[in-house]
Chain A
Amino acid sequence: MLKLSAENKDQLTRIATPNMTNEKRQAYWRRNLRYLFILLFIWFLVSYVFGIFLVEPLNQIRLGGFKLGFWFAQQGSIYVFVVLIFVYVRWMNKLDKEFDVDEI
């Protein structure tokens, strides 16, 4: 396996994105992954857990004319999906600014 020294690597990455050190780069990526984890957890919860695995017990609860589990499977999960993407857009735009990697 080919391995470059740490400075070498840093030099190479600096060519790609000039104002970023390796540590900063790692920090940015970790924050990104944390956001993904949180959002995908909710994504899984509303669709698979509420809409499929727990649909029977949730159907005992009513939301107006809907059984709650059924509502999650056919309405609720979709609304949450839309919100999730816009939250992601917001968080990432902020993160990009904070790390000074946003595009002009």
Chain B
Amino acid sequence: MSVLTWTIILVSITFALYIGIAIWSRAGSTKDFYVAGGGVSPLANGMATAADWMSAASFISMAGLISFMGYDGGVYLMGWTGGYVLLALLLAPYLRKFGKFTVPDFIGDRYYSNVARTVAVICAVIVSFTYVAGQMRGVGVVFSRFLEVDINTGVYIGMALVFVYAVLGGMKGITYTQVAQYCVLIFAYMVPAFFISMIMTGNIIPQFGFGDTINDGSGMYLLDKLDQLHTDLGFAEYTSGSKSMIDVFAITFALMVGTAGLPHVIVRFFTVPKVSDARKSAGYALLFIAVLYTMAPAIAAFARTNLINTVSEQPYAEMPQWFTSWEETELIKFNDKNGDGIIQYVANPEANELTIDADIMVLANPEIANLPNWVIALVAAGGLAAALSTAAGLLLVISAAISHDLIKKQINPDISDKAELWWARGGAVFAVIVAGYFGINPPGFVAATVALAFGLAASSFFPAIILGIFDKRMNREGAVAGMVVGILLMLFYMVKYKLQGFGGGTPDDWWLGISPEGFGTVAMVFNLVVAVVVSRMTAAPPEDVQELVEDIRIPQGAGDASAH
């Protein structure tokens, strides 16, 4: 059977499964809609969190990025996993004990202020929208490459599907579809990884094959071989990287703290019954994520070696089929500068004749390694699962921000549960449409800002939540001032160095040599300092709020997540 037939079969089966689950688990109350009724087991929540968290970027782009960055790619690996340690130790149990529906709920109640609540809503919406647009685009790309439909048609199909299970099922529908999506995506990631590891090193486990000898008779370790290939072609050594140490530190830290501050991840910990379950499910979530994240750098190294061996100094006319089919999508470009018909792939931009988009490495990897057609189709289904699960989680945050944090908490507190549920559904519809619009008409800044969503989360939410739990003296004035300073500073730096606003600037002008991706760390420090200083100069929070802080520190009596 052809790749296309296999893809249609696998994608149809998985989509039918997601819809079936959504119908079975549709939401009957706002509590179902926001926190899946609060009765999700830690294991299921761990899986759902893993799928929620691992987006099209993790599945499709990350291994490709690492394979072009080498050692520097570690910023993503450490940054996007280390954040779970912070989440498990510093946030999840306390927020679960607090027991409300959303992150702005916590900010609003802890800082006894609707201003703080509104600032949190705005931050949540900015972070979630920048993120979700990239997911819809990812769905479109997978559809267009593997099902041979137009990118826009792909986006419409994705919208329709998310519409069914997010609007109908709310958090309850999303949770159980995400469990299924995790299984699909991890299987789709593992199968080609095992195959390639086996072919290249004779070791079936990629994490070990990564450090094993390469199967080309040379007896060299794979990574040594790769370093040598890199040096020969004039690239920096694969295992050394080229970013400055301070920037690697800043990016890793911003990604970790940003991960812990992402509202769609935090809200997942409201769905388990007990505080101890929140801790445990953070552990499961990281375990499930680590399966993919420890495999990704191995895939990156395999793909890089394979690629160099396949194309470097080889005649263009003898390139395999995948080369030409990706050339058609313009993600591979060959320009025979010296006219010798042979591909020169080197570091020197004057002499280099080949440009390759990092995004294709995972998708093209099975083809490069000549794997069976069903494996290629499986990767397509996995990419869709990753993109859809994340999109759904983000849409729910946006919908809850509208129906719960704005309408229920601020505009019309007397609204009935039923009416609020309708608002929540309406909010989800609105969010799906906006996300689809950005998927079809991607503004130039989306690609640039997806990575920066983490910086925004790091510079706004993280300090406000942490201080809300660990610093009893933190008050409304401090938290609001901190969040506003943090997010504005981050936005300013982003606009200045990414979009060339405010006079623009080059990497030479970066503060302390820190890139916009890593600037979340600096903005977060500003947020912390401003918050602490301002809070010490203004009145202490009222007694009942200090009691609330005492209360969330003790696990007993968590009860159900409630709207009061």
A55-B71, A73-B78, A81-B82 given; A66·B211 CB < 8 A: yes
- How many residues on chain B are close to A (CB under 8 Å)? 56
Within B179-216, the residues touching A (CB, 8 Å) are 207, 210-213
| CB of B287 closer than 8 Å to a CB of A | yes
Interface string of A59-73 (1 = CB under 8 A from B): 100011111001101
Contact A17 B85 (CB under 8 A): no
Contact A65 B554 (CB under 8 A): no
A48-B249, A102-B556 given; A36·B90 CB < 8 A: yes
Residues of B within 8 A of A64 (CB): 211-212, 221
Bound CA span A56–B224, Å:
16
Residues of B within 8 A of A43 (CB): 82, 85
Question: How many Å from the CB of B176 to the closest CB on chain A?
Answer: 24
Interface residues on A, range: 35 or more
A59-B239, A64-B212, A75-B210 given; A85·B555 CB < 8 A: no
A12-B547, A70-B71 given; A75·B207 CB < 8 A: yes
Contact A25 B239 (CB under 8 A): no
Contact A74 B543 (CB under 8 A): no
Please tell me which one of the listed residues A12, A71, A89, A103 contacts residue B543 in the complex, with CB atoms under 8 A apart.
A12
Residues of B within 8 A of A12 (CB): 543, 547
A20-B554, A73-B74, A102-B556 given; A52·B252 CB < 8 A: yes
Contact B82 A77 (CB under 8 A): yes
Bound CA span A89–B283, Å:
8
Residues of A within 8 A of B77 (CB): 73-74, 77-78
Please tell me which one of the listed residues B74, B207, B286, B543 contacts residue A81 in the complex, with CB atoms under 8 A apart.
B286
Bound CA span A25–B84, Å:
27
Contact A103 B558 (CB under 8 A): yes
Within B262-290, the residues touching A (CB, 8 Å) are 274-276, 279-280, 282-283, 286-287, 290
Contact A65 B276 (CB under 8 A): no
Bound CA span A12–B253, Å:
39
Contact A103 B275 (CB under 8 A): yes
Bound CA span A63–B73, Å:
20
Question: How many Å from the CB of A14 to the closest CB on chain B?
Answer: 11
Contact B290 A39 (CB under 8 A): no
Contact B274 A103 (CB under 8 A): yes
Contact A77 B556 (CB under 8 A): no
Bound CA span A36–B294, Å:
25
Question: How many Å from the CB of A39 to the closest CB on chain B?
Answer: 6
Bound CA span A3–B332, Å:
68
Tell me the interface secondary structure of chain A in the complex.
helix
Within A1-30, the residues touching B (CB, 8 Å) are 1-2, 4, 12-13, 16-17, 20, 25, 28-29
Residues of B within 8 A of A4 (CB): 543
A16-B547, A74-B77, A101-B554 given; A81·B85 CB < 8 A: yes
Bound CA span A47–B83, Å:
11
Within B225-256, the residues touching A (CB, 8 Å) are 239-240, 245, 248-249, 252-253
Residues of B within 8 A of A17 (CB): 551, 554, 556-557
Residues of A within 8 A of B213 (CB): 65
Residues of A within 8 A of B557 (CB): 16-17, 103
Residues of A within 8 A of B90 (CB): 36
| CB of B315 closer than 8 Å to a CB of A | no
Contact B539 A102 (CB under 8 A): no
Residues of B within 8 A of A48 (CB): 249, 252-253
Residues of A within 8 A of B555 (CB): 96, 101-103
Bound CA span A82–B557, Å:
28
| CB of B357 closer than 8 Å to a CB of A | no
Bound CA span A74–B556, Å:
38
Bound CA span A29–B469, Å:
12
Question: How many Å from the CB of B301 to the closest CB on chain A?
Answer: 9
Residues of A within 8 A of B558 (CB): 103
Contact A85 B297 (CB under 8 A): no
Residues of B within 8 A of A66 (CB): 210-211, 223
Bound CA span A74–B65, Å:
13
| CB of B501 closer than 8 Å to a CB of A | no
Contact B89 A39 (CB under 8 A): yes
Q: In chain B, what residue has the closest Cβ to A16?
A: B551
Interface string of B520-551 (1 = CB under 8 A from A): 00000000000000000001101100010011
Interface string of A85-100 (1 = CB under 8 A from B): 1101100110010000
Contact B223 A65 (CB under 8 A): yes
Known: A25-B550, A65-B224, A67-B239. 7 other contacts (CB 8 A): A39-B89, A51-B74, A53-B249, A55-B71, A65-B210, A75-B210, A101-B556
Using CB atoms and an 8 Å cutoff, list the residues of chain B in contact with chain A: 66, 71, 73-74, 77-78, 81-82, 84-85, 88-90, 93, 207, 210-213, 221-224, 239-240, 245, 248-249, 252-253, 274-276, 279-280, 282-283, 286-287, 290, 293-294, 297, 539-540, 542-543, 547, 550-551, 553-558
A–B complex contacts, Cβ < 8 Å, 16 sampled: A1-B540, A17-B554, A25-B550, A48-B252, A48-B253, A65-B224, A66-B223, A70-B74, A71-B211, A74-B71, A79-B290, A85-B88, A85-B282, A96-B555, A102-B555, A103-B276
